[in-house]
Amino acid sequence: MGVPKRLTEMQMRFAEIIVFGGADGPCTGKEAATIAGYSEKRARQEASELQNPRLSPLVVQYIGKLREERLKKYAVTYDGHVAELARIKDAALKKGSFSSAVNAETNRGKAAGLYIERKIIKHGKLEDMSEQELEAKMKQILDDYAPILNVTPTLQKLKQNKIKPQPDSTSKSVSSEKG
């Protein structure tokens, strides 16, 4: 018994159902064989044989070709992705759905690399640190963020604006605790 030279209608139907699914969505091999017209009693065996490259090389080759076509059809490319998001945004704007339009535009920006999403996960609690570790950590934070934390005006700036400096009670208490 030789290998057939072309696929039968039932074999092509089976391959198409395996790749694209049936009316209710994806199917098992047995379900695909039954839907394609194979006997209910031998459906599982037929599905196995039809997907075996030694027994049915043409069917396996056709299934591979169909899968490639499906992948090409639904392939996600940068240009296609950005264009689709733009289309969704335009449709949302036409309907007056501004929230959806903003989300679509944000997603276009993310796809283009305009946004960088960064998540920092830190472990440990302040309660678990010793007093020395807490003081060292606070000093490190103050040093790291000094340019943005230093909003206290200097005496010279206060004199220029003719404002009397307010007594700083926190600095006195901190200095008295150290001494």
Indicate if 41 and 19 belong to the same structural domain. yes
Indicate if 57 and 97 belong to the same structural domain. no
Amino acid 84: pLDDT: 80
Provide the residue-wise pLDDT of the chain in tens; the chain has 179 residues: 566 689 999 999 999 999 999 888 889 999 999 999 999 999 999 999 999 999 999 999 999 999 999 888 877 777 877 788 888 888 888 988 888 888 887 887 787 777 777 776 666 777 777 888 888 888 888 888 777 766 665 666 666 666 555 555 444 444 444 44
In the Cβ-directed half-sphere of 115, how many Cα atoms lie within 13 Å? 10
Residue 122 lies in a domain: no
Contacts of residue 63, Cβ cutoff 8 Å, sequence gap at least 6:
15, 18, 19, 51
Amino acid 169: pLDDT: 47
Residue 99 lies in a domain: yes
> Is the Cβ–Cβ distance between 7 and 59 less than 8 Å?
yes
Our count of domains for the chain comes to: 2
Indicate if 64 and 84 belong to the same structural domain. no
Indicate if 61 and 95 belong to the same structural domain. no
Prediction pTM value = 0.48
Amino acid 57: pLDDT: 92
Indicate if 66 and 88 belong to the same structural domain. no
Please count the other Cβ atoms lying within 10 Å of the Cβ belonging to residue 133.
12
Supply the range of the domain harboring residue 105.
78-112
The Cα 128–Cα 86 span in angstroms is 50
Q: Which helix (H) or strand (E) holds 165?
A: none
In the Cβ-directed half-sphere of 124, how many Cα atoms lie within 13 Å? 8
Region for residue 79 given its phi and psi (left: phi exceeds 0; alpha: psi -120 to 50; beta: otherwise): alpha
Indicate if 66 and 87 belong to the same structural domain. no
Indicate if 42 and 61 belong to the same structural domain. yes
Residue 135 lies in a domain: no
Contacts of residue 60, Cβ cutoff 8 Å, sequence gap at least 6:
50, 51, 52, 53
Domain stop point among 49, 73, 97: 73
Indicate if 15 and 61 belong to the same structural domain. yes
Indicate if 45 and 61 belong to the same structural domain. yes
